[in-house]
């Protein structure tokens, strides 16, 4: 009798452990998808233009605010509102690149770092003034709910964000490989001089790339605002996260951010579940170091992008 | 050429360091900060950065204090009435910046300082205050560690960190029926939160609860799912979050996503902040929070009147309900004013002695400091979000409504 009870307790503990592991894995993957969406634009700009955009996180937060504003003033659902967010952020991104970053795009990397850092400060402070430092969230009736599959909770908002991230990444790959614009972007990224000789207007292509990146950042921001909270101070964290994910996944491959994001999400979820939650950031960077030791160009990156010479 | 440039850079750096060093040791005159009918107090405030929201609430508290004091003619120092003038500098929520701003105030001859927001900033400032012979009244640094270093010139108006989460445990033990049996604490890993978490775990053990292992996550984390996932299988009755606003909101949101439903959630700093209800909406219902002050607090003073009047004044000036971040800031400023008046001087040493001997009632609580500078006799209150509003439920003497139990719905 006592033995039977012990066995059933062990069985229960084992069941709990399996459920716990699966729950951590599912949540980690979903969180990873969201992280990938945050980072994909950063990776694109770095890969194509060789600009490490330190203002990327500020565009993510700006997207969240635009989505929030559309929700509270027009009642637009964030998943619908994000189309408008993408358009607004695309226009802002296009203009910022064309009239600001383009001025120094040929300069040393420190100049572009400095400029984008300054831009980040301006945007964050601007948002502080316009929207205040209050924490905000885009309310929906469904995002916090979950579908239960065999004892595993799958949060609806995060699932939608994940599917969107995968969809956008696949779409981006298709656009880059099969459209004239995509091929112009890839060509300019590979060799700006040669692309110019082929009649590609590098300035326009760069602005287009930056616009696409900020549009994606804006969409990611709207998602973050729907499943979590945001305020202007969150911008720096998003930039750092994007940096790590871009390096982890590798440049020059549109799937890089997705692979990096998913790995990051899983490492954080598993690390938090099996070790102390305070280790998650250290673990994420440990994984980054290990990956770079064996694959210096990132998990799916192309070595060419690190060594190219631009004219 | 290169060598000379390096030399020049090194020289500039050395001179700057030397100048900064000299400046920070600058000894300003005895009546520092008081000139031509004004009394200047320095305040480094977190107006940007990760605790900007709380920083702004703190500044509002200081601003209302200045307005109230000046409306009564100012601060009476001897036979003079000095207009109160609080100088603000943004410390971007960073402890090292907060500490260097205290140095800068000292260089300007400002010896009287009102604290920044949060324990980390205040702790960094306290060391500089001691070195420069300045005096600080701390409005929001509750970590017991700040007061465990033998400093003589920092005075905190608020209850210590160990009481924050412990008060929620005490309230649940006293009011909940049927009484819950198990408690788990989820805590951020900063000094203040850890101290509060330890206090909660100890109180729970003393009151006979089964206490599960405390789970930690990084300070400022917006993803606490791993900690929730870990405690889900144990199905604890009470989940206490020893957290700030961002982590506090994440606990409630992600617990819903993960299907973690205890009988009640209790959190330290988050629920009394206005943003808690605006970001969480109806998910905030039933959550308990510990508060340094509530609108039903007893006591009154000549400047702010009662707690209810204080709330009305904050609503009129800043268009939102008064939170405890506002109140503790105003109380810190009030303690300074009362001590300066009692000392009859703005001399830092005399003001320090007057603060050490202060024992005055106020809208906030009795302002009285123990040997290490803490207001340790001050009780904390526990609030519950009911109908989108913060309602005091404990201690019973100042309760505005009964505890709704359980605080969650399956």
Task: List, for residues A122-147, the tens digit of each pLDDT value.
Answer: 999 999 999 988 889 998 888 888 99
Helix/strand/coil for A148: strand
pLDDT at B296: 87
Chain A positions touching B189 (Cβ under 8 A) are 278
The residue to which tokens 């673990």 are assigned: A283
Chain A positions touching B258 (Cβ under 8 A) are 23, 27, 146, 153, 155
Q: What is the secondary structure of B301-335 as a DSSP string? A: ETTTEEHHHHHHHHHHHHSS---HHHHHHHHHHHH
Low-confidence winner among A117-121, A279-283, B63-67, B250-254 (lowest mean pLDDT)? A279-283
Query: Does the distance separating the beta carbons of B226 and A273 come in below 8 Å?
Result: yes
* Token couple for A98: 């064309």
pLDDT at A7: 52
CATH number of B162-291+381-398: 3.40.50.2300
What average pLDDT does the segment A186-213 reach? 88
Asked whether B252 and B186 are in contact (CB, 8 A), the reply is no
Report the complex ipTM. Answer: 0.86
Within 13 Å, how many C-alpha atoms sit on residue B162's CB side?
A: 13
Residue of B nearest to A136 (CA): B279
What does the pLDDT profile of chain B (410 residues) look like in tens digits? 444 454 444 444 444 433 333 333 333 334 445 556 899 999 999 998 888 888 999 999 999 999 999 999 999 998 899 999 999 999 999 999 999 999 999 999 999 999 999 999 999 999 999 999 999 999 999 999 999 999 999 999 999 999 999 999 999 999 999 999 999 999 999 988 999 999 999 999 999 999 999 999 998 888 999 999 999 989 999 999 999 888 999 999 999 999 999 999 999 989 988 889 989 988 999 999 999 998 888 889 999 999 999 999 999 999 998 988 999 999 999 999 999 999 999 999 999 999 999 999 999 999 999 999 999 888 899 999 999 999 999 988 889 999 999 998 76
pLDDT at B2: 45
Asked whether B88 and B45 are in contact (CB, 8 A), the reply is yes
Q: Please give the Cα distance from B269 to B87 (Å, whole number).
A: 27
What average pLDDT does the segment A58-72 reach? 97
Whether the ω angle into residue A67 lies within 30 degrees of 0, i.e. cis, is: no
Instruction: Name the phi and psi angles at B213, rounded to 5.
Output: -65, 130
Residue of A nearest to B214 (CA): A276
Chain B positions touching A133 (Cβ under 8 A) are 47-48, 52-53, 55-56
Q: Please give the Cα distance from B121 to B103 (Å, whole number).
A: 14
The residue to which tokens 């799912």 are assigned: B225
Residue of A nearest to B255 (CA): A144
Query: Does the distance separating the beta carbons of A277 and B218 come in below 8 Å?
Result: yes
Residue of A nearest to B270 (CA): A135
B49 touches chain A (CB under 8 A): yes
pLDDT at B238: 97
Q: What are the residues whose beta carbons fall under 8 Å from the beta carbon of A280, sequence distance 6 or more? A: A267, A268, A271, A272, B217, B218, B221, B226
Domain boundaries, given as residue ranges, for chain A: 33-139+146-233
pLDDT at A98: 93
B229 touches chain A (CB under 8 A): yes
DSSP H helices, B133-270, are 162-175, 191-206, 225-232, 245-258
Query: Does the distance separating the beta carbons of B52 and A231 come in below 8 Å?
Result: yes
Closest CA relative to residue A53, chosen from A242, A212, A182: A242
Domain boundaries, given as residue ranges, for chain B: 31-159+296-368, 162-291+381-398
Q: What is the mean pLDDT of chain A?
A: 89
CATH topology of domain B31-159+296-368: Rossmann fold (3.40.50)
Strands B238-242 and B264-267, sheet pairing: parallel
**Degrees (nearest 5) of the Cα angle A226, A265, A53?**
75
DSSP H helices, A132-179, are 156-178
Express each pLDDT in A73-86 by its tens digit.
Answer: 999 999 999 999 99
pLDDT bin (cut points 50, 70, 90) of residue A91 is: very high
Chain A positions touching B227 (Cβ under 8 A) are 272, 277
Size of interface A-B (CB pairs under 8 A): 121
Express each pLDDT in A19-64 by its tens digit.
Answer: 889 999 999 999 999 999 999 999 999 988 889 999 999 999 999 9
> Is there a shared CATH topology between the B31-159+296-368 domain and the B162-291+381-398 domain?
yes
Asked whether B134 and B43 are in contact (CB, 8 A), the reply is no
Query: Does the distance separating the beta carbons of B56 and A124 come in below 8 Å?
Result: no
Asked whether A235 and A106 are in contact (CB, 8 A), the reply is no
Q: Please give the Cα distance from B9 to B11 (Å, whole number).
A: 5
Smallest Cβ–Cβ distance between B50 and the set A16, A233, A281 belongs to: A233
* Token couple for B242: 């020893």
Smallest Cβ–Cβ distance between B249 and the set A132, A229, A237 belongs to: A229
Q: Please give the Cα distance from B175 to B207 (Å, whole number).
A: 13
pLDDT at A11: 56
| Minimal CA separation from B340 to chain A, in Å | 34
DSSP H helices, A50-155, are 56-74, 78-99, 109-131
């Amino acid at each position: 009798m006592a033995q039977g009870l012990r066995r059933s307790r062990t069985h229960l503990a084992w069941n709990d452990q399996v459920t716990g592991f699966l729950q951590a894995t599912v949540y980690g993957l979903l969180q990873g998808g969201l992280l990938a969406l945050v980072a994909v634009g950063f990776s694109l700009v770095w890969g194509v233009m060789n600009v490490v955009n330190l203002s990327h996180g500020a565009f993510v937060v700006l997207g969240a605010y635009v989505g929030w504003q559309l929700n509270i003033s027009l009642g637009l659902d964030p998943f619908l509102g994000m189309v408008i967010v993408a358009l607004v952020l695309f226009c802002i991104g296009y203009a910022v690149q064309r009239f600001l970053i383009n001025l120094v795009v040929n300069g040393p990397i420190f100049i572009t770092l400095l400029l984008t850092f300054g831009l980040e400060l301006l945007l964050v402070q601007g948002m502080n003034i316009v929207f205040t430092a209050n924490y905000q969230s885009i309310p929906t009736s469904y995002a916090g709910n979950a579908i239960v599959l065999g004892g595993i909770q799958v949060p609806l908002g995060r699932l939608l964000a994940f599917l969107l991230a995968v969809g956008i990444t696949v779409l981006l790959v298709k656009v880059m490989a099969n459209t004239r614009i995509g091929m112009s972007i890839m060509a300019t990224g590979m060799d700006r001089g040669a692309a110019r000789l082929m009649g590609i207007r590098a300035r326009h292509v760069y602005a287009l790339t930056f616009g696409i990146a900020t549009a994606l950042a804006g969409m990611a921001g709207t998602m973050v605002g729907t499943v979590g909270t945001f305020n202007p101070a969150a911008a720096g964290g998003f930039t750092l996260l994007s940096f790590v994910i871009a390096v982890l996944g590798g440049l020059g491959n549109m799937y890089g951010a997705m692979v990096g994001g998913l790995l990051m999400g899983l490492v954080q979820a598993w690390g938090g579940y099996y070790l102390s939650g305070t280790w998650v950031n250290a673990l994420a960077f440990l994984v980054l170091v290990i990956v770079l030791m064996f694959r210096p160009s990132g998990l799916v990156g192309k070595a060419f992008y690190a060594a190219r010479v631009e004219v | 050429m290169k060598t000379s440039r390096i030399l020049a850079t090194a020289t500039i750096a050395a001179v700057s360091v030397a100048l900064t060093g000299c400046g920070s040791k600058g000894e300003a005159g005895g009546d520092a900060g008081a000139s031509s009918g004004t009394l200047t107090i320095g305040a480094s405030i977190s107006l940007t950065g990760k605790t900007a929201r709380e920083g702004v609430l703190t500044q509002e508290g200081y601003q209302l204090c200045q307005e109230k004091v000046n409306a009564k003619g100012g601060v009476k120092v001897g036979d003079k009435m000095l207009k109160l003038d609080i100088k603000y500098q943004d410390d971007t929520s960073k402890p090292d910046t907060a500490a260097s701003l205290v140095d800068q105030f000292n260089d300007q001859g400002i010896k009287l300082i009102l604290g920044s927001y949060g324990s980390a900033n205040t702790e960094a400032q306290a060391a500089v205050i001691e070195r420069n012979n300045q005096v600080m009244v701390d409005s929001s640094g509750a970590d017991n560690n700040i007061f465990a270093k033998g400093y003589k010139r920092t005075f905190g108006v608020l209850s210590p960190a160990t009481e924050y989460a412990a008060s929620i445990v005490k309230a649940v033990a006293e009011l909940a029926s049927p009484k819950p049996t198990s408690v788990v604490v989820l805590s951020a890993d900063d000094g203040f939160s850890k101290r509060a978490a330890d206090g909660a775990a100890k109180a729970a053990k003393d009151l006979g609860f089964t206490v599960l292992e405390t789970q930690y996550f990084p300070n400022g984390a917006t993803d606490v799912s791993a900690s929730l996932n870990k405690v889900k299988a144990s199905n604890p009755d009470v989940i206490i979050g020893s957290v700030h606003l961002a982590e506090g909101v994440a606990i409630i949101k992600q617990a819903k996503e993960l299907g973690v439903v205890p009988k009640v959630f209790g959190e330290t700093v988050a629920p009394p902040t206005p943003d808690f209800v605006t970001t969480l909406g109806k998910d905030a219902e039933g959550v308990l929070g510990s508060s340094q002050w509530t609108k039903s607090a007893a006591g009154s003073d000549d400047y702010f009147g009662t707690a209810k009047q204080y709330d009305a004044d904050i609503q009129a000036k800043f268009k939102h309900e008064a939170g405890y971040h506002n109140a503790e800031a105003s109380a810190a400023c009030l303690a300074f004013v009362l001590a300066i008046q009692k000392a009859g001087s703005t001399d830092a040493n005399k003001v320090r002695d007057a603060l050490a001997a202060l024992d005055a009632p106020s809208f906030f609580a009795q302002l009285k400091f123990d040997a290490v500078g803490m207001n340790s006799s001050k009780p904390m209150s526990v609030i519950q979000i009911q109908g989108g509003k913060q309602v005091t439920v404990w201690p019973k003497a100042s309760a505005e409504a009964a505890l709704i139990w359980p605080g969650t719905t399956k």
